[in-house]
Amino acid sequence: MKIVIINYGAGNIQSIKFAFQRLGYNAILTHDVNEIKNADRVIFPGVGEASSAMKMLRQSTLDNLIPELKQPVLGICLGMQLMCNSSEEGNTKGLGIFNTDVVKFSDKVKVPQIGWNEITELKSELFKGIADGKHIYMVHSFYAPLCKETIATSDYGLKYSAALAKDNFYGVQFHPEKSSDVGERILKNFIDKA
C-alpha cells in the first residue's frame, strides 16, 4: 500500500504523516507528479488560505493532476474545500470535483469554528463502524453547504457538509489526524476501501 500526502506548501502535514504511522503505514510527503499518479491512496491536505493555496497548486500543475486521479483521494480541511467549485475565501476557483461553492460562516456564530463537533447522517463506507453523532475535530471559517455529494453533516448555526464524496474522491472538513480514535478509524476505512 503506497500512501502519498501531497506536499504543496500548505500547512501542518507532519501530523497526517504521524497519524498514518500510528496505523502502521509510512505515508510519503511529495509533490512529484509521477509519485502521486502511482500511489494507491492520495491525501490532499491543506491549512491556510484558499486563493494562495490554489496559486501554489497551479504553480506545480497539481490543479490539473488532482481531478484526473483514478485512485481513492482524500481531501482534508482546506483540501476538501479546494475540491469544490469555488471558495469565497480570496474569491478563488476550485478544482471543481464537488459541485458546491464554499462560503463563510455568518457572524451569528463565533468564527473560526474551533473544536469538537458531531457528524451525523453518515452515508459512506468512510464511516464504517462509526456511530452517528460521534465528535470530530474541526477548525474552519468557511464551509461547504449541503449538496447531493454530502456524506456527513454537522451543525454550526446551520447544517453544512462535514464530508463529501464523488466517485473516487472524498473530502472531510474535519481533521481525522486530530480526531482521536474516531479519526483514526476514518483513515483506516479510507485505506481499507477496496
Partner 1 sequence: MLAKRIIPCLDIKDGRTVKGINFVDLRDAGDPVELAEIYSRQGADELVFLDISATEQKRKTLAELVYHVAEKVNIPFTVGGGISSVEDVDLLLHNGADKVSINSSAVKNPQLINDLVAKFGSQCIVVAIDAKEIDGEWMVHLVGGKVPTKIKLFEWAKEVEERGAGEILFTSMNHDGTKNGFANEALAKLSLELNIPIIASGGAGNVQHFVDAFIEGKADAALAASVFHYKEIEIKDLKKELKTKGIPVRI
User: What is the contact surface with partner 1 in residues (CB under 8 A)?
Assistant: 11-12, 14-15, 18-19, 21-22, 47-49, 107, 110-118, 135, 137-141, 155-156, 175, 177-181, 183-184
* Annotated catalytic residue 177: yes
Catalytic residue among 31, 77, 140, 149: 77
Least distance (Å) between residue 173 CB and partner 1:
13
Kindly tell me which of 56 and 69 has the beta carbon lying closer to partner 1.
56
Q: How far is the CB of 8 from partner 1 (least distance, A)?
A: 15
Q: Is 118 marked active-site?
A: no
CB of 145 to partner 1, least distance (A): 18
Q: What is the 3-state secondary structure (H, E, C) of the chain?
A: CCEEEECCCCCCCHHHHHHHHHCCCCCEEECCHHHHHCCCEEEECCCCCHHHHHHHHHHCCHHHHHHHCCCCEEEECHHHHHCEEEECCCCEECCCCEEEEEEECCCCCCCCEEEEEEEECCCCHHHCCCCCCEEEEEEECEEEECCCCEEEEEECCCEEEEEEEECCEEEECCCHHHCHHHHHHHHHHHHHCC
